[in-house]
């Protein structure tokens, strides 16, 4: 199938998927799998390879997502049922005031996103997002949208994240300059994420039923654990041991911050420490193990289980029941995210993204713009920002390396690619499903909010990069 046919197929596949979910109200999991199979057949993937492609797409995504969502959900549940989310929300509210706590959390997310992958950081912050939403009397999307936006911007442009590091290696770009310019450009993007999200959130957005139930349970648990919270004698007599411990002895805000920061510190130690030791050495292996996101979350969850649970007088049986109940909503997120990975895998195997990128790169446009647009095409067509960055720079390596660019200019070319991979997050992106399901957004509302926000940030980031490129070129750096 030629480039035109592949392009038409991609457009039709996405359109059918959106109609199935938005208009026909088909469950996202079924719609994604069904459209994936049909697309695979249309583009000519051999029948014997269709199932293999689906399994690889599901397994490749769930290998990363299932562990992180499961452990992150359990850690979040521990923070919730211990009364810690309420304590932290109260502390932030009293320190910054209600009008500024979303801005404060966005600033915190900026810092947390530097060493931690987007999905891990966002999942870890979910109980805090929910807690602030309860404190403000708002829906989670009001708090979580700007947080997610800036975290993703950091993820695609600032080392040690895999896309920008892998892309830099392909064109031999300087990671120091990439880090400096990436952070400088992302600072105004943090403000932009806060204000654009505020505009997008002006209208009320109905939460998905399953998220609404989870959030209602969280609110009930959090309010019951508040300072001085009491109920009727009958209600207190019937409350669970977990709820009673949260009401009588809520976890402090310091404990909550510790458990948010611990996995981040472990991951950072593995990443930065690995750069300081000999590759393949025992120290490198140990640091790699300690800094693995799944290991960091597992260790943190075990410690939190003791400190926030059994140490406060809650039996292991009662705590285990509460955590098991919290995993039910996570199962939906995991399955839908995995199915999104299947759709992205089919589009990748079909060659749609590569065909479009090749056509675009052959137009003769300025390299900075070509890198951005090729990354956009690959991002839209197959979903993964990391794949989009690495593939784009792989396709245009000769133009970058042989273009007589300075070290600083090459760093900015890599950043332009990263910002191309930031925008237009939609149904092919597993991150789209993580954000929308945790924040309770339907597909239509996710496209109107999360997709718009990431696109605005991606375009703004590219424009700022272009300005920097012009200045650097003018002064001869």
Query: What whole-number distance in Å separates Cα of residue 365 and Cα of residue 341?
Result: 32
State yes or no: pLDDT of 163 exceeds 70: yes
Q: Is 275 a domain residue?
A: yes
State yes or no: pLDDT of 229 exceeds 60: no
> What pLDDT is stored for residue 226 in this prediction?
56
Share of the chain above pLDDT 90, in %: 15
Q: Is 29 a domain residue?
A: no
Per the structure, the complete domain to which residue 255 belongs is given by 61-139+208-331
State yes or no: pLDDT of 43 exceeds 90: no
Instruction: Give the distance, in angstroms, between the CA of residue 284 and the centroid of all CA atoms in the same chain.
Output: 27
Angle CA(148)–CA(154)–CA(157) in degrees, nearest 5? Answer: 140
Cβ 229 vs Cβ 57: under 8 Å: no
Q: Is 49 a domain residue?
A: no
> 387 vs 289, 379, 383, CA distance in Å?
24, 8, 8
> What pLDDT is stored for residue 344 in this prediction?
67
Query: What whole-number distance in Å separates Cα of residue 433 and Cα of residue 323?
Result: 22
Mean pLDDT of 416-434: 86
Q: How many distinct structural domains can be found in the chain?
A: 1
> What pLDDT is stored for residue 242 in this prediction?
65
State yes or no: pLDDT of 231 exceeds 50: no
> What pLDDT is stored for residue 457 in this prediction?
96
**Quick count: other Cβ atoms within 10 Å of Cβ 191?**
14
Query: What whole-number distance in Å separates Cα of residue 301 and Cα of residue 266?
Result: 13
Query: What whole-number distance in Å separates Cα of residue 272 and Cα of residue 399?
Result: 31
Mean pLDDT of 246-253: 69
Query: What whole-number distance in Å separates Cα of residue 208 and Cα of residue 192?
Result: 27
State yes or no: pLDDT of 234 exceeds 70: no
Q: Is 254 a domain residue?
A: yes
> What pLDDT is stored for residue 237 in this prediction?
47
Which three-class secondary structure state does DSSP give residue 158? coil
Cβ 308 vs Cβ 260: under 8 Å: no
State yes or no: pLDDT of 317 exceeds 50: yes
Straight-line distance from the first to the last Cα atom of the chain, in angstroms, rounded to the nearest whole number: 45
Q: Is 321 a domain residue?
A: yes
Q: Is 70 a domain residue?
A: yes
Phi and psi torsions of 46, nearest 5°: -55, 145
Q: Is 326 a domain residue?
A: yes
State yes or no: pLDDT of 236 exceeds 50: no
Q: Is 474 a domain residue?
A: no
Using the CB atoms, write b or e for 442-473: b if 16+ within 10 Å.
bbebbbebbbbbbbbbbbbbbebbbebbeebe
Cβ 389 vs Cβ 417: under 8 Å: yes
Residues 67-107 pLDDT 10s = 766 777 787 778 767 777 667 667 776 777 766 888 888 88
Positive or negative torsion for Cα 240, 245, 250, 254: negative
Mean pLDDT of 390-410: 79
> What pLDDT is stored for residue 160 in this prediction?
63
């Amino acid at each position: 199938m030629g480039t035109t046919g592949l392009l038409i197929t991609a457009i039709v596949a996405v359109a059918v998927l959106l109609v199935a979910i938005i208009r026909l109200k088909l469950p996202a999991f079924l719609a994604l799998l069904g459209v994936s199979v049909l697309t695979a057949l249309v583009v000519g993937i051999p029948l014997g390879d269709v199932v293999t492609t689906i399994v690889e797409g599901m397994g490749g995504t769930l290998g990363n997502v299932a562990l992180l969502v499961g452990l992150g959900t359990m850690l979040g549940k521990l923070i919730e049922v211990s009364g810690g989310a309420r304590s932290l929300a109260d502390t932030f509210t009293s320190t910054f005031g209600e009008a500024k706590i979303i801005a404060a959390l966005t600033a915190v997310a900026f810092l947390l996103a530097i060493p931690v992958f987007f999905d891990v950081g966002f999942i870890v912050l979910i109980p805090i997002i929910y807690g602030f939403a309860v404190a403000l009397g708002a829906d989670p999307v009001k708090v979580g949208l700007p947080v997610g936006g800036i975290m993703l911007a950091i993820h695609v442009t600032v080392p040690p994240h895999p896309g920008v590091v892998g892309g830099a290696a392909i064109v031999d770009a300087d990671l120091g300059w990439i880090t400096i310019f990436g952070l400088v450009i992302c600072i105004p993007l943090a403000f932009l994420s806060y204000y654009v999200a505020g505009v997008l959130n002006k209208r009320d957005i109905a939460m998905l039923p399953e998220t609404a139930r989870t959030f209602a349970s969280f609110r009930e648990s959090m309010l019951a654990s508040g300072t001085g919270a009491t109920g009727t004698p009958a209600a207190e007599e019937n409350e669970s041991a977990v709820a009673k411990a949260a009401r009588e002895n809520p976890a402090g805000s310091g404990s909550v911050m510790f458990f948010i920061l611990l996995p981040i510190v472990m991951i950072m130690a593995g990443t930065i420490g690995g750069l300081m030791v000999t590759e393949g050495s025992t120290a490198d292996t140990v640091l790699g193990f300690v800094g693995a996101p799944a290991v960091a979350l597992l260790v943190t969850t075990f410690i939190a289980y003791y400190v926030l649970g059994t140490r406060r007088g809650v039996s292991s049986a009662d705590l285990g029941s509460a955590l098991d109940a919290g995993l039910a909503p996570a199962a939906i997120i995991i399955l839908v995210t995995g199915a999104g990975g299947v759709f992205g895998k089919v589009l990748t195997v079909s060659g749609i993204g590569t065909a479009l990128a090749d056509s675009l790169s052959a137009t003769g446009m300025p390299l900075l713009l070509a890198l951005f647009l090729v990354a956009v095409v690959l991002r839209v067509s197959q979903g993964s920002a990391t794949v989009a960055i690495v593939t784009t720079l792989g396709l245009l390596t000769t133009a970058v390396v042989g273009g007589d660019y300075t070290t600083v200019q090459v760093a900015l070319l890599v950043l332009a690619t990263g910002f191309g991979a930031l925008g237009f997050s939609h149904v092919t992106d597993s991150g789209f499903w993580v954000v929308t399901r945790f924040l309770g957004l339907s597909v239509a509302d996710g496209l109107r909010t999360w997709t718009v926000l990431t696109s605005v940030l991606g375009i703004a980031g590219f424009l700022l990069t272009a300005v920097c490129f012009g200045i650097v070129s003018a002064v001869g750096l």
